[in-house]
Structure 1
Amino acid sequence: MTEQDEPSGRLKQELLDLALEAATLAGDFLRDGRPDDLGVAATKTSAIDVVTEMDIAAEKLITGLLSDRRPEDGLLGEEGASVEGTSGVEWVIDPIDGTVNYLYGLPSWAISIAARVNGETLVGVVHVPMRGETFRAVLGEGAFIGDRPTRVRPAAKLGLALVGTGFGYLAERKVQQAEVVRRLIPEVRDIRRGGSAAIDLCDVAAGRLDAYYERGLNPWDYAAGDLIAREAGAVTGGRPGEPLSPALTVAAPPGLFERLQARLNELGAWHD
């Protein structure tokens, strides 16, 4: 059996082990090597959508390890890594999810690494160095924090749900997102904004949030966290009948997911 066919158990374990090694290596580098005078190296969609030199260095560290161990795999990274592989395996990498938190010295940032096989996410690892936690999942094998299995909370009523979200970096998008929150917050227990989509998805998996939604995510933001949330029992998607996408990402336990998704659709959370 080749990697172009149904993935074998041995391949799954190899990809998981490599993702864990890469995430831990990058996490140690980012935690221990953060300079006191860390500054912005570049901007992306706006002046507040930043890249630091540590983002760039961490992505090079991760992609260098992956390419050395599995040179035929593809790479897709937030900071520009783009390699078309020949093995059927593609690595989707966010070297620092929560860059603004990292820039300001806040603890909510993570390394997110997912392995896709023929387009399907097979392995996801989200390493959160400042929490001392590593979330991981393999498709069909459950979700874990370290070696401990984790599950979503039982579905709450919408009015009792603690809901995580995030905001974009374009002013016009934030205006619409703020309007959605203004209308949603009286209908739920409360809203949390942590600053890292990968951590928010994992917090749904760990039962620390009842649900999470956001517009404007990219594959490297959600690839690993999406798998971890689903393997912990969450349902994920975008607008009703659509998969999660940059337009909208929603994650919650069955029962709550459908109610929140429908309400977000009514509120126009999927457009600017």
Structure 2
Amino acid sequence: MTQNLDLLAETASAVRAAGSALLKRFGQAVRYETREELMAALSANDAVALAVLRPRLTALRPEARWVEEELEGGELPPGEWWVVDPVEGNINYLRGLPEWAVTATLVRDNQAVLTAVHVPLTGETYTALAGGGAAVDGRPLQVSATARLGLSLAATSYARPDEEESVVQRIGASTTAMIRDALVVRTSVPATLHLVNLAAGRLDVYWQLASARADLLPGALLVAEAGGTISDVDGRGWTPVSEGFLATTPRVHAEAVASLSL
């Protein structure tokens, strides 16, 4: 456990350093006229963070491989992997919006071991260690005690642009259902910031259809270690292979599953 705590501290230091590098570039919205220009701008932001993260995280776990595509889902091959989103909420960063973060999660045999999420514009660093709890800047996190979906603040986002039409239809139907059943529904990206808010007791429900590992692994570990419930949208155990994701306070989970049973 002590070794993992030291590793977590170094991972948190790495995401903070990457966040500092990104802050130097952050400001007014970046202009783009084509999809190619947009992708180039997003890639340039990623490169700034990765120039800090890759050498530092590789030095921590030289044997761990890297997930190169942040929007991919599905199982990873056995062994250790760094699942990193260098600019989680990159489109927000590009537009000068404040909702973005830097995340790094160490995964071993498809189980998240530890995660660190840094939010540069607030200065907060969220950390979680499997079996060791979750914290923000060293203060323990605990999900809310909300017991009814009708009193819940819920949130959702979607994993990627150009989503399949069937998934788009399900996203629309699930949002309509939750607007009907929850108190308030927020819809925005990125997923990780919704999930850190759930872990901190600020939100009660988060769901997403069509999974992406880098979006969900950090927040899933934070919520679970803060006492929340993680499943797919049908209430079964969640893995990176699952087609949907649901995180809630424990007492709201059954109602949320029922609401999303489309």
TM-score by length of 1: 0.83
Tell me the distance in 2 between the aligned counterparts of 1:117 and 1:14. Answer: 17
Residue 26 and residue 235 in structure 1: after superposition, are their counterparts in 2 closer, same or farther (change >3 A)?
A: same
- In the TM superposition, residue 260 of structure 1 has moved relative to its aligned partner by 0.6
Residue 72 and residue 230 in structure 1: after superposition, are their counterparts in 2 closer, same or farther (change >3 A)?
A: same
In structure 2, which of residues 226, 248, 252 is the aligned counterpart of residue 252 of structure 1?
248
Residue 43 and residue 120 in structure 1: after superposition, are their counterparts in 2 closer, same or farther (change >3 A)?
A: farther
Tell me the distance in 2 between the aligned counterparts of 1:214 and 1:191. Answer: 13
Q: Name the counterpart of 1:24.
A: 16
**Contact 1:27/1:129, CA 8 A, preserved across alignment:** yes
1:240 aligns with 2:235: yes
**Contact 2:70/2:213, CA 8 A, preserved across alignment:** no
Residue 115 and residue 188 in structure 1: after superposition, are their counterparts in 2 closer, same or farther (change >3 A)?
A: same
In structure 2, which of residues 122, 130, 133 is the aligned counterpart of residue 139 of structure 1?
130
- In the TM superposition, residue 139 of structure 1 has moved relative to its aligned partner by 1.1
Q: Structure 1: give runs of 5+ residues left out of the alignment.
A: 1-8, 81-86, 268-272
In structure 2, which of residues 117, 139, 150 is the aligned counterpart of residue 126 of structure 1?
117
Tell me the distance in 2 between the aligned counterparts of 1:200 and 1:121. Answer: 19
Tell me the distance in 2 between the aligned counterparts of 1:253 and 1:72. Answer: 36
Q: Name the counterpart of 1:270.
A: none
Task: Identify the structure with bigger relative contact order (alpha carbons < 8 Å, sequence gap 6+).
Answer: 2
In structure 1, which of residues 151, 157, 177 is the aligned counterpart of residue 148 of structure 2?
157
Matched pairs, number: 253
Residue 220 and residue 78 in structure 1: after superposition, are their counterparts in 2 closer, same or farther (change >3 A)?
A: same
**Contact 2:205/2:248, CA 8 A, preserved across alignment:** yes
1:263 aligns with 2:259: yes
User: Which consecutive aligned stretches of 4+ in structure 1 deviate over 4 angstroms post-superposition?
Assistant: 39-44
Residue 42 and residue 134 in structure 1: after superposition, are their counterparts in 2 closer, same or farther (change >3 A)?
A: farther
Q: Name the counterpart of 1:229.
A: 223
Tell me the distance in 2 between the aligned counterparts of 1:118 and 1:166. Answer: 27
Percentage identity across aligned positions?
Answer: 29
TM-score by length of 2: 0.86
**Contact 1:244/1:250, CA 8 A, preserved across alignment:** no
Tell me the distance in 1 between the aligned counterparts of 2:26 and 2:130. Answer: 33
- For 1:253, give the aligned amino acid: T
Residue 37 and residue 169 in structure 1: after superposition, are their counterparts in 2 closer, same or farther (change >3 A)?
A: closer
Q: Structure 2: give runs of 5+ residues left out of the alignment.
A: 72-77
Aligned residue for 2:221, secondary structure, equals helix
The correspondence of residues 189-228 of structure 1 with structure 2, limited to 5 A, is: 189-228=183-222
